Structures are given as C-alpha cells and as structure tokens.
Structure 1
C-alpha cells in the first residue's frame, strides 16, 4: 500500500493518551475503545474515534480493514538491543563480563564482512516486525559496514530506527579495537550519511565505560557538540563486577554515571541501558540532566545482573523505556519482555499493571527517545505505526479470555501467556509491513 493511500481500521484500540509522571496517574491516561475506527492518510494518523462517530470519515473510496476481535495498540518501541547478537541469543551460562569475552566479541568479529552484516540485518528487522516492534534503538558493531547494512535494510522497510557503530578502544580483543581518531572519523562519516535520512537517526555508541579510554570519551564529547541533535546510547551499572571495574578505571570520578556526565554525555536523547545498581546521586543526575533509562528485564535475569527498581524510577521522575536487549535478552517479543518485567516487580513488591506496562513499551519509550511528538500513541498527526494483536492464538488463551472483562484484562493475559503467535499484523508508516496470515499463506 502506498503511504499516500487513505484507509480506515476498525477494531478494539488501546493506547496511553497523554504523558504521565507517576504510576497512580496511569489508569486516567489509558484510552480504550471497544469498537473504534482509526483513519490513516499519508502514513500518519488522522483520527481515532468510536465507530459510530468515526464512520463520517469513511466514504466509498476509503478502504476499510475490519479487524474486529483484534486488539490494536501502538507499535512497540524497543529502547535497547544489539542486532549483531541475534545469532547468539541464548548463549549459556555466563555473567556479563565473561559473556562478552566468550560469546559477544567473537560473534561481532564476523561483521567485517558487509554481506554477512546485511544478511543478519535482514533477519533482525524481520524479527522485530514479526514481534510487533516498529521502532528501536540499536547497537551495531565497531565496523562502519554493520551500521550501513542495518540502516539500508531499515530504510527499505520505512522503519523508524536509531542506531550507531560501537566506539571501543581498550579492554577488548585486538580485532575489535580502534583508535580514538579512527572512531571519530568513521562515526562522523556515518552521521553525515544517515542521520535524519527519512525515519533514520544516529546514536553515538560508546560500548560502555570500561572499553572507552578518556581519549575516546573526549572524542564522543566533541562529536556530540558538533552534532547536538544525535542520540547517545550506552550501558550503565548492569553488573556489580562491572561497576567495581569502572571505579578502578576512573578513580577520579564520583561513580559510574559521573564518567559519562563528566564528558557531557548525559542529557536529552541520552539513553543508558540497565541502570540496576545506581546510587542516589546517580538517580538525581539522570533526572536533572533529562537523561533516560532502558529497562531490560529478560537480559538482567538471564545474565543474573540484578533487579531493576521500578519504584525508584517513578520516585525520581526518570524517563524510561523497555529494551529486549537481544542477545542477552532471550526474546524479541515485547509481550514476553513485559511479562518478565512484571516478575521483576513482583520480586520487589511492585505491581506492574498492564496499563503501566503498555506505557513503558509505547508512549513512555517514545518520551525516553525524545520521539513522543512522532510516535507512541494514536494522537492525530503522529506516524501510523501500530500492532494488531490476536488475543486468542492458542487453546489456553481462548479459555483464559473467557474471564477477561476489558481490553486491559486481555493485554495482561497476553503479557503473561502471550508470544509472537499473538502478533497478527505490524503496520509501519501507514502500511502493513508484516502479516501472519500472509506469511502462513506463503509458507
């Protein structure tokens, strides 16, 4: 379908209608239409209204997609994952630092080959769409060709994507190291080639403080000053051993976050993955600098890194989205990831509701990425990215749904027993970019 085509979607809709600041406000922010109609034109949302009122938008020239029985939510926004690690998902038995050494670095070595990078980029983006994810903030490898391959594939799919090449000059195998000067030169060229091109944007991507010398971090600072509208994407306080290592490497700094803050890397459009083992001054710095966090429950559990504190996130008013963090994360599916987030909360006496979870995966994530004026809900004028959920994709779900009384009830069930089978369609920029029915018919 051309993005200039006008069309209408009928079904059950659920979104977060406005930004929220505390967990208690979330129910008032939820918009639920049991029988609604969404009008699209030119890849953007024109209106979302109840069916009776919205019929006035539809004439004989407007195609109507009747999706009654389906639950339609804004496209999921993944705030942290690594596309080169797609093929090593589920690597056994390590915690963060040894996991990097034994699995991650050897896998990333293969991305010296542009053809290899292109093949993995295709698989990666297909997995995102198959799981209802329409936008993402993504790590490449140290190789510029890894970013070229990913952006080229995303551009062909009209996806909104932020990505960057890893910047890394120490404490990694020689075959992945670069000099600060090489990193700066290659990163600048990538920014000039891709940043702001269609729905693509660039993120400065120092892997994490231990693999970044002061000289490299100074280069990142200079690039951010030169290109102030790019993003910063890195890791923060994921693992206790990692935190201790940062203190050894940067004894002059007040803590892990202070390393980044010192080099001017906090602020709007700065996204720090994990942030599990933070001290109070770091929480305050994240808030005061308008930085954001990516909560990655599946990878935090898989690597035994710790439990992210959702209550402190609200208490300090820090922006936050959810990340699958593939390949330490064990699924591309945001429903399953939110189910793991619920369990992380339960272990800390925090009750993550379905409406709060939806916020963190859609509008809250868009706020964390500074894209809330473009994506995140069904507000008029926003880009038409959404996912069509099949609530009853298995006999167990059919049975369970008999006791659901609202769209939020259905969403919570999908968070706890759902998976990629529940993704019926994924729409990107006003077009159906993935359909389970079409895929099964072609198989």
Structure 2
C-alpha cells in the first residue's frame, strides 16, 4: 500500500473524553481526562494535541479549519476485541446454545464464503456497520476459506482501518466442505501473513476456531506459525460453555484443563486473545496472567446464548488483560455502546458495579492494551493515531430529555451507554479521515 497522503491540520471543538489508565489500577479520578469545551487537533492521521478550547484555539494557525460540534462528545474510536465478519448475515438467529447454534446456523452460513463475491458483499456490509457504530479497530474471525480473509483485508485497506483478521483453522468436527488440513491451513495462513501482516494498518491473527475443531497436529502448526512470525496475533475461543469444556476434556484427555490444550501447543503470548473465558479455573487464570494473554469479554453473546456471566473483577484481580467484544453474530449488536450496557447488567447479576468510566476504558484503551496496540491507539495522547468518534448527546428525544436532567459527567456517560446505539454516532474518523457521517 502506498503511504497515506498528507492531510492538513484540522481542529474539532466539542466536549472531549478519553481514558488515561485503568480505573481499577489508579482510581476513577486519575483514569480519564475530560474537557467540557475541548479541542482535538489532528494532522496527517495523528493526534497533535488535545485540551481546553481556551488554551488551544489562540495558538492555532489561521489556516487550520475548526469544526464546531454542539451537543456532541468526542471519544476515541471503539475497539472490538472479538467479532465474526462472516456471521453478519445470521445475527439474531433464534433459540440455541453454543454447540447447536454452530451446527444449525454458523456452519451453513460460513459455507457461502467459498463464493468470493458473497464474501466481498458481506465484508463491505460488515465494515459499514462497524463505522456506523463508531468502531475503528477490531479483531476479526474470517472463515476457513483463504479468499474470505483476502477480501476482508482488501476492503479494510481501502478505508485505511486498523484491523486484525485471520483464516479459520478447522480440520475436524465440522462439515467436510468447511474443513482444511493441518498442512493446507498452515500454508494458507502463511501466504496471508506474507501478503497482509503489517501492511498499512493491517495485522494477521492465527485463528484456530476452538480446540474441538482442530487436531493436535493443526494446533502444533498454528504454534509453528507463531514461532516463525512472532508479532502476529493468535485468536480463538476459550471456556464459553460448560458442554464445550466437557467436550474438550474428552478430545484432549491428557490436558490439565481447556487452556492447557492451547498452552501445550505454544499458543499463549502477549498477542493471544481468547474470547469469553467465562468458566476458568485458578490454574488457567494463572497461565493467562503469566503469558500476558488477553480475554475478550463478550457480554451480549454470553447472555444471548445463555453461556454464563464473565467475572470481570476476578479476572482483573488475577492480572489478566481484558478487552470488550461484540461477538457478532451471537452478539446481537455491532454497537459497543450497547455492549457496555449489557456488560453493566452482567456485573449487576453478580452483585458488582461497572462504572461508566470503566466501561469506556474497556471499549477504548483497555481494548488497545488487550491487543498490545496501546502505543498506537486507545486515547488522545499526542502522536497516537487519530481514530475517534463523535457522539450525539441528543440523538433521540428520550436521550435529549434525559441529558437535560443529567447531574454529572458520569451520569451523561451512563445515559449514553444505556440508551445509546448506532443512532448516537454522528461521525467516525479513522486515521484522521471520515469513514462514516450520519
């Protein structure tokens, strides 16, 4: 890809909020920065500075365009740490738990991705939905078809998005026309890594679907890819459902636990992201923490499939990195605002509170940390990439009415989380350029 062309400086004036650190680590007060009347100055795809309008506006060159946004809040772009692009067309599929849901809905839909034209059509729809919902970075499952990932990267490159994706590895316990072999999966993944990893803002993830659909030989070759390309990602599922865990134990009787299957094949690292992790034992938590691996918390799909309640507080107390994922299509919304709302409910059911500033952290800087990308994205520190979203505080009549009665920043943010969805997103900017405008 050619280098992105230079873009002149541009200033955006609105209320601005971004996370500085995990509230769990530093306390709420030191975890964020908020400017009621702020300016975000961007140039050439990067943040130049952020601050109070009174401090920044007088120093701007007269040539700098200032975009004034009334009743709006600017936050960093949302980061989705687990989502399936091929499941866009089966979102809101009725009435199953995980394993039946895979067989009855997921596999039949994913077979369609052998058709490159269909894969491209869905990729375009998927990326449009991400932008419409303010998501600027995502860790994405493809299908077993090499072409499905090739097309996804092509469409992401056109928009200059920071996306991470990979071809699914699946050599057993799936329909024959959705399986590869250990060797073909390895070779296809290798070719895609060579073509796309670190091209522009794109990254590759070695992607075994989950332990039950890969033989030990396939997992061994997945580990070999991670050895050969140490800066690629590893993306899979872990301990989502109790029946799934029992199945893994039957298939891998020599393993100590579910995570140990992956561990034995060299799949744990600071670039490994495990979706769900609801039902983990102490030994699994210890290894996740030691290896600096991350979990993607997917509250919407966990509730939709009846999988269980993710113990966020316990995972963080054990030193595990946690991002937030929509998990479309078991997740029922592309919106990380709606996902934050579901996360709040998941915590409530466990007798815990989830503060709105903590939710924002999980969906932005926390996601960046989970993906080892916090040096590039996640907040508005000077020099970071200018991925941001403009949120309309008056997006609906009810939201407007409720905002007029909000007493604090936390109150406004909680209203956004609870009542917000794609209607709340006015503009989405990736690398300083608009990729969606309502």
For the criterion TM > 0.5, the same-fold answer is: yes
Q: Tell me, in whole angstroms, the C-alpha distance in 1 between the residues paired with 2:29 and 2:419.
A: 23
Superposed, which structure 2 residues align to 1:428-439 within 5 Å?
Answer: 428-436=430-438
Measured against aligned partners, the alpha-carbon deviations of 1:76-97 in whole angstroms (never above 9, x if no partner) come to 0000000000000000000000
Question: What is the SS of the residue equivalent to 1:27?
Answer: coil
Q: Tell me, in whole angstroms, the C-alpha distance in 1 between the residues paired with 2:317 and 2:119.
A: 41
CA contact (8 A) 2:22 2:358 kept: no
Aligned counterpart for 1:400 among listed residues 387, 399, 402: 402
Once the two structures are TM-superposed, the CA of residue 23 in structure 1 deviates from its matched residue by: 5.8
Matched residue, 2:198: 196
Matched residue, 2:375: 373
Q: Tell me, in whole angstroms, the C-alpha distance in 2 between the residues paired with 1:38 and 1:383.
A: 12
- TM-score, structure 1 as length reference: 0.97
CA contact (8 A) 1:217 1:263 kept: yes
Cα distance, 1:134–1:3 mapped onto 2, change above 3 Å: farther
Question: What is the SS of the residue equivalent to 2:30?
Answer: helix
Aligned counterpart for 1:253 among listed residues 255, 265, 268: 255
Matched residue, 2:289: 287
Measured against aligned partners, the alpha-carbon deviations of 1:323-375 in whole angstroms (never above 9, x if no partner) come to 00000000000100100000000000110011000000000100000000000
Q: Tell me, in whole angstroms, the C-alpha distance in 2 between the residues paired with 1:156 and 1:376.
A: 22
Gaps in structure 1 of 5+ consecutive residues? 437-443
CA contact (8 A) 1:39 1:57 kept: no
Matched residue, 2:88: 86
Decide which moves more: 58-67 or 299-308.
Answer: 58-67
Q: Tell me, in whole angstroms, the C-alpha distance in 1 between the residues paired with 2:71 and 2:400.
A: 12
Confirm whether residue 25 of structure 1 aligns to residue 27 of structure 2: yes
Confirm whether residue 4 of structure 1 aligns to residue 27 of structure 2: no
Matched residue, 1:350: 352
Q: Tell me, in whole angstroms, the C-alpha distance in 2 between the residues paired with 1:421 and 1:345.
A: 25
Q: Tell me, in whole angstroms, the C-alpha distance in 2 between the residues paired with 1:401 and 1:56.
A: 30
CA contact (8 A) 2:316 2:322 kept: no
Matched residue, 1:364: 366
CA contact (8 A) 2:220 2:266 kept: no
Once the two structures are TM-superposed, the CA of residue 407 in structure 1 deviates from its matched residue by: 3.0
Confirm whether residue 14 of structure 1 aligns to residue 25 of structure 2: no
Once the two structures are TM-superposed, the CA of residue 71 in structure 1 deviates from its matched residue by: 0.6
Once the two structures are TM-superposed, the CA of residue 2 in structure 1 deviates from its matched residue by: 5.8
Once the two structures are TM-superposed, the CA of residue 32 in structure 1 deviates from its matched residue by: 0.6
Matched residue, 1:208: 210
Aligned counterpart for 2:100 among listed residues 98, 101, 108: 98
Number of corresponding residues: 435
CA contact (8 A) 1:44 1:383 kept: yes
- TM-score, structure 2 as length reference: 0.98
Once the two structures are TM-superposed, the CA of residue 408 in structure 1 deviates from its matched residue by: 2.7
Q: Tell me, in whole angstroms, the C-alpha distance in 2 between the residues paired with 1:406 and 1:8.
A: 26
Gaps in structure 2 of 5+ consecutive residues? none
Question: What is the SS of the residue equivalent to 1:233?
Answer: strand
Q: Tell me, in whole angstroms, the C-alpha distance in 2 between the residues paired with 1:106 and 1:326.
A: 16
Cα distance, 1:270–1:189 mapped onto 2, change above 3 Å: same
Q: Tell me, in whole angstroms, the C-alpha distance in 2 between the residues paired with 1:144 and 1:183.
A: 9
Matched residue, 1:306: 308
Aligned counterpart for 1:114 among listed residues 116, 137, 147: 116
Moved over 6 A (4+): none
Cα distance, 1:313–1:21 mapped onto 2, change above 3 Å: farther
Q: Tell me, in whole angstroms, the C-alpha distance in 1 between the residues paired with 2:59 and 2:95.
A: 56
Q: Tell me, in whole angstroms, the C-alpha distance in 2 between the residues paired with 1:228 and 1:56.
A: 46
Q: Tell me, in whole angstroms, the C-alpha distance in 1 between the residues paired with 2:137 and 2:23.
A: 23
Question: What is the SS of the residue equivalent to 1:321?
Answer: strand
Q: Tell me, in whole angstroms, the C-alpha distance in 2 between the residues paired with 1:3 and 1:409.
A: 39
CA contact (8 A) 2:79 2:138 kept: yes
Kindly report the root-mean-square deviation, in angstroms, between the aligned alpha carbons of the 2 structures. Answer: 1.2
Q: Tell me, in whole angstroms, the C-alpha distance in 1 between the residues paired with 2:432 and 2:231.
A: 26
Q: Tell me, in whole angstroms, the C-alpha distance in 1 between the residues paired with 2:293 and 2:396.
A: 40
CA contact (8 A) 1:271 1:368 kept: yes
Matched residue, 2:413: 411
Confirm whether residue 55 of structure 1 aligns to residue 57 of structure 2: yes
